[in-house]
Structure 1
Amino acid sequence: MKYRSTRGSKENTLNSAAAIIQGLAPDGGLYVPLDFPKANFKLEDLPKLSYKQIAAMVISLFFNDYSKEQIQSAVLNAYSEQWDNRSIVPIEKHDHNFYMELFHGPTLAFKDIALQMLPQLMTRAVQIEKIDRNIIILTATSGDTGTASMRGFANQKRTSVIVFYPEGGVSPVQLRQMLSQHGDNLQAIAIKGNFDDAQTEVKKIFNDEKFKTLLNKNGYQFSSANSMNIGRLVPQISYYLYTYGQLVRRQEIKLGNEINFSVPTGNFGDILAGYYAKKLGLPIKKLICASNENNVLTDFFKNGEYDRRRKFHLTNAPAMDILVSNNLERLLFDLYDNDYKQISSLMNQLTQRGHYQISDEVHAKLQEIFAADFATERQVIKEINRIYNYDRYVIDPHTAVGSYVAHQYQEKTGDTTPMVIVSTASPYKFPETVYEAVTGRVCPQTGVAAIKKLHEELGGQLSIGVRTLFDRKPGLEKVIDPQNMEIVISSILDLK
């Protein structure tokens, strides 16, 4: 299958392996299929398939440059004993809605679904393309991507990971996970600024031709583990298909029935995977974009203007503390009928002016498919408490955003379509907030100590991923100015 940039003509294409290795297109755009694939499955197949089978099916559909054997081995390696639930994605029913649990991997967040797969795809892509340079995974993170990419790529041959994250902008547990990951090929560095500052600088470094030449001269090549990388995005489609199949299998819905998904949304990759699942024929009625107080997307869906010129909030759902949602570019490319010139214009406006306005026609298309709302920090606390008091089910702050927005949507619209809330992280990853919500008291500790306090309240058995946090000792945090990121990379790689 051929891939093109959202900002380039369809004459300039790459195969899927090359697109995965590059990560970000040289023109600053994101790679998308030249022709969106037609589903290689029937809806009635989904209830019969395991998660691994659906994952292999999706990978083969989008990345047909890989052999069947390469895909099968990649799936087996990505979804094996590092998961604490054999189904990979269990689905729980609470308060009449379904919670799709995506946090049963090694770093306790949904990023594991794709970032256990991406290293498998990357190593095989290097073989397919016969690349003789070392791959440097350069990534900005608001918390979970950093840990998951480091865990996924740890000790992978001829691959290194350099992660930049906002100082004070990740949770204590997220920080501990990043600073305690084992692997000689891993680096995590804080920047003075927010996630958008880190992401903007990473994109700038990717597009610096002089620095790229220096890298190549020293035997290196950049790639990305962000959802900007198509190899990170595509594996996420699988859990939408799997969840639908499981709901049919459990007789919660009938085959062909529509369902809604409420998706906690920051960089727009997770909800875009749902949109791609809908394009493949999954009967999704509404994709509900759930934001925290950084509600740039809520306003965008309501009025058609994307405007990042606003106050940046550090919230109790830190993985969503984002004002520039990169994957929205892929959605707009699709809705503008692949008009790359229009997309380039909109993205340039965002960079230079801080905002852009989409056409009335495209806005109307958006509103047919999407709904959007947001939750404040206080509403997050109340939603965790509401769900816990209903039947003792515990959710993390990001899931609470999705749950609150879903509940509000149902009350406002009267829509009785079955609702799936995308549950993106373990509650033990954000124990301070969950403890306060469950007990009504501020947690006296942070990090691992807070996990112990929360566990005292909740009881039960801790997963292997949570127990691992007690054993690891984090290294020292290094903090730099964003404008020094390129210098630091040069030093780490010893570029000459």
Structure 2
Amino acid sequence: MVYYYLNIIMLKVWGEEVMVVKYKSTRGNNENITSAEAILKGLSKDKGLYVPQDFPVIDKNLEAIKDMNYKEVAFYILNKFLSDYTEEELKDAIEKAYDDKFENKKIAPLVKKSGMYFLELYHGKTLAFKDMALSILPHLLTKAAKKLGEQKKIVILAATSGDTGKAALEGFSDVNNTEVIVFYPAKGVSEIQKRQMITQEGKNTHVVDINGNFDHAQRGVKEIFNDDAFGEEMAANNHVFSSANSINIGRLIPQVVYYVYSYVQLLKQGEIALDEKINFVVPTGNFGNILAGYYAKKMGLPINKLICASNENNVLTDFLKTGIYDIQRDFLITNSPSMDILISSNLERLLYELSDHDEDLIRSMMHDLERKKKYTITPSMKKNLEDFYGGFSTEDETLQAIKKVYNDANYVMDTHTAVAYHVYEQYKKETKDASKTVIVSTASPYKFTKSVIEGLKEGNTENDEFELVKNLSTLTGLNIPQSIKDLDKKEILHDLKCEKDGMKEIVKKILNI
């Protein structure tokens, strides 16, 4: 049975009304497609990103959600955004994604330390928050292909600043009818991140060291997606591109889940009252993670501030303060490398919402970014930024934060989480806001062991990262995650390299086209 009202299609599914959410491009090309189509395509032909035409809402009392486990919350949220997937399809994807590959049974445990709450999103195989979405994306993507009758081999392209790459490789390894190709900047990832990628098993996995930085890799992937002639050549050879980066809406939507889950956990633990507003602090590079929090707020989750924490590549901090996005600045390699990004792709989705869906304006700003390397938002858009606060942390401040929290609470943060902690300290000092606050902890300390130990010991160390893994365990008592035990002894399986303007040719070589 189908109901039509308020220009929104409602389906009656298993006795409950579910809003049918359709997707369109931020740059406006009159598309009106299902979530399965958006996930399979990854990026619109007009270079825009897919966004929901209408936002579903949290229609249950949060008290009714608080006893749900992570998988149950995931189904509740995903069922709203991915309304063209059946209950069976979604539940199968969720069960396969959030299984014993996560070392913590809670999937995303919430830990109270130093008067705040750390949402640990790093208990999956790759030790980073990307596992939360990239564990489920392969299942959503392959189900989408089946639903839409896509017979061509799906080629997953991903650019990575360290974490997306390994998570994509792990998620798509030996998935039928797929190939996954990851581009990474060798000088922009930690040794452990690099070794996780170049030792990845799977006949369909390919890893390429690009002579450039993350922005070069990301730009190259987008250019391949937007090359119609190359797409036709791929199709003629029975291949079709899709994306595992957070430009894919199938990466973004699963991240909404852990914002809702962490809120109801606080409610369950008696830490907050029903409908009490809380803050989230998010270490931010490509803007997808914090955007998922914004989407949760649009659904009705009681969020006060979304605190955007950057390192010294602080283009987002400046943007949130001034309304000017300007990438004409030095690109810095820091001790929080997954945030060493100047072009935050997912910001376009936020601009779309801030501008009240003004597609012409979005196209104009993206054109300015491409041609002039900067753009300025309108006064009304800047006013709509009030949900956000921006701050940044230097490398030294990051190391000091690691030491402070360890000394105060015997809790070990990685460098990205430490950036978030330092920025939150800035925020409290500046605003005096006493709202309960969740710090989104995006990576295990074991992914950036050298910098973490430098923070704990206040000094440099010459030991290699794999020796430091053992040292960190001895120093802090933290168990070494199973996924990196003996990682340095694993066989190196990938050694491809390319120049930043040679990405298309190496894709052809990999696919024998």
TM tier, shorter chain?
over 0.9
1:28 aligned residue: 47
Structure 2 CA distance for aligned equivalents of residues 476 and 279 of structure 1 = 42
Partner of 1:97: 116
Q: Encode CA deviations 1:179-202: one digit per residue, 9 max, x unaligned.
A: 011101011111111111111111
- 2:63–2:267 Cα contact (<8 Å) kept: no
What is the TM-score of this pair, normalised by structure 1?
0.98
> In the aligned structure 2, how far is the partner of 1:242 from the partner of 1:216?
41
Equivalent-residue separation in structure 2 for 1:222 and 1:145 (angstroms): 17
Of residues 479, 499, 504, the one that matches 1:461 is: 479
- Once residues 470 and 309 of structure 2 are traced to their aligned partners in structure 1, the CA distance between those partners, rounded to angstroms, is 30
CA RMSD across the alignment: 1.1
Q: Which amino acid aligns with 1:4?
A: K
Q: 1:27, CA displacement in angstroms?
A: 0.7
Aligned-pair CA distance for 1:470: 5.0
2:409 corresponds in structure 1 to 391
State which of 367, 372, 377 in structure 2 corresponds to 1:358. Answer: 377
Aligned to 2:485, the other structure's residue is in SS state: helix
Indicate yes or no: 2:26 matched with 1:6. yes
Residue among 360, 375, 382 paired with 1:341: 360
Deviation at 1:468, TM superposition (A): 5.8
Residue 485 of structure 1 pairs with residue 479 of structure 2: no
Q: What amino acid is the match of 1:110?
A: F
What does residue 264 of structure 1 align with?
Answer: 283
Given that 1:40 and 1:57 are in contact with CA atoms closer than 8 Å, whether structure 2 keeps it comes out as no
Paired residue for 1:215?
234
Alignment-mate amino acid for residue 204 of structure 2? N
Corresponding position of 1:297: 316
* Identity of matched residues, %: 46
d(CA) in 2 for partners of 1:178, 1:463: 16
Aligned-pair CA distance for 1:474 = 2.6
Partner of 2:391: 373
Code of the residue aligned with 2:437 in structure 1: it is M
- Per-residue deviation, 1:411: 1.5
Instruction: Determine whether 1:64 maps to 2:93.
Output: no
Q: Is the 8 A contact 1:97 1:421 kept in 2?
A: yes
Deviates more, 1:447-456 or 1:163-172: 447-456
Q: What SS does the aligned partner of 2:203 have? A: coil
Q: How many residues align?
A: 493
Equivalent pair of 2:156/2:178 in contact (CA under 8 Å): yes
**Is the aligned partner of 1:85 residue 2:104?**
yes
Q: Equivalents in 1 of 2:102, 2:57: separation in Å?
A: 30
Distance 2:87 2:140 in 1: 13
Match of 2:468 among 450, 453, 465: 450
Q: What secondary structure does 1:81 align onto?
A: coil
Q: Distance in 2 between matches of 1:142 and 1:438?
A: 25
CA contact (8 A) 1:46 1:241 kept: no
Residue in 1 aligned with 2:267? 248
Contact 2:312 2:394 survives alignment (8 Å): yes
Partner of 2:431: 413
Structure 2 distance, partners of 1:40, 1:205, is 40
- Give 1:445's aligned amino acid: N
Aligned residue identity for 1:365: N
Offset from partner CA, 1:378-401 (integer Å, 9 cap, x none): 111000000010121000000001
Is 1:112 the counterpart of 2:131 in the alignment?
yes
Correspondence for 1:473 among 462, 487, 491: 491
| Distance in 2 between residues matched to 1:452 and 1:214, nearest whole Å | 49
Contact in 2 for aligned 1:70/1:124 (Cα 8 Å): yes
Letter in 2 for 1:352: R
Question: 2:6 maps to which residue?
Answer: none
- Structure 2 match to 1:202: 221
* CA positional deviation for 1:471: 5.0
TM value normalised by structure 2? 0.95
Could you tell me which amino acid in structure 1 is paired with residue 295 of structure 2? Y
Measured after TM superposition, the shift of residue 322 of structure 1 is 0.3
Taking the TM superposition and a 5 Å limit, the aligned residue runs for 1:224-239 are 224-239=243-258
Give 1:74's match in structure 2, choosing from 82, 93, 107. 93
- 1:433 maps onto 2:451 in alignment: yes
Deviations 1:107-156 (A, max 9, x none): 00000000001011011111110101000000111000000000000000
Q: What is the one-letter code of the residue matched to 1:168? A: K
Q: Distance in 2 between matches of 1:55 and 1:78?
A: 11
| CA shift digits 1:147-166 (9 cap, x unpaired) | 00000000000011101111
Give the conservation status (yes or no) of the 8 Å contact 1:6–1:330.
Answer: yes
Whether 1:382 and 2:400 are equivalent positions in the alignment is yes
Unaligned runs of 5+ in 2: 1-20
Structure 1: runs of 5 or more not aligned: none
SS of equivalent residue, structure 1 residue 221 = strand
Q: Within 5 Å, give how 1:177-188 maps onto structure 2.
A: 177-188=196-207
Aligned to 2:418: 400
Structure 1 residues 296-342: Cα deviation after superposition (integer angstroms, max 9, x where no partner): 00000000000001000000000000000010100110111111111
Partner of residue 66, structure 2: 47
Q: Which deviates more from structure 2 when the two are superposed, residues 274-283 or residues 462-471?
A: 462-471
CA distance in 2, matches of 1:268, 1:461: 31
